[in-house]
Amino acid sequence: MTIIELSQAYHTIHANRIDLDRRITALPNTDILGKDRLLLEMQFVLANLVNTERLLASTHATDMSEVRAKAEVLILTNDLDAITALALSLAKDVVRIA
């Protein structure tokens, strides 16, 4: 996958995570089975986010549009390891492209 495709995938997965957050919080506390099911879905979504972040960090950008796509993901992520990896990857990309 290209950086642009990975970035688009990340945005889609991130939107799914936000939707799951809303669905989990909307369920009554008494709906244990419903919350458990959604929490399992959330684990899958979060694993996909981490995997996509790692792929983005390990893929070299070839132009500024790809650097921008990586930066947009960096802004959204909350994972400190992903932030570090993406920031270092972006710095290397800028040095290589500039």
- Structural domain span for residue 75: 3-97
pLDDT, residue 98, reads: 80
CA distances to 23, 24, 36, 47, 63 from 33, rounded to whole Å, are 13, 11, 5, 21, 47
pTM attached to this predicted model: 0.88
Q: CA angle, 18 as apex, 12 and 19 as ends, to 5°?
A: 90
Number of domains in the chain: 1
Instruction: Kindly report, residue by residue over 38-94, the tens digit of the pLDDT.
Output: 999 999 999 999 999 999 999 999 999 999 999 999 999 988 899 999 999 999 999
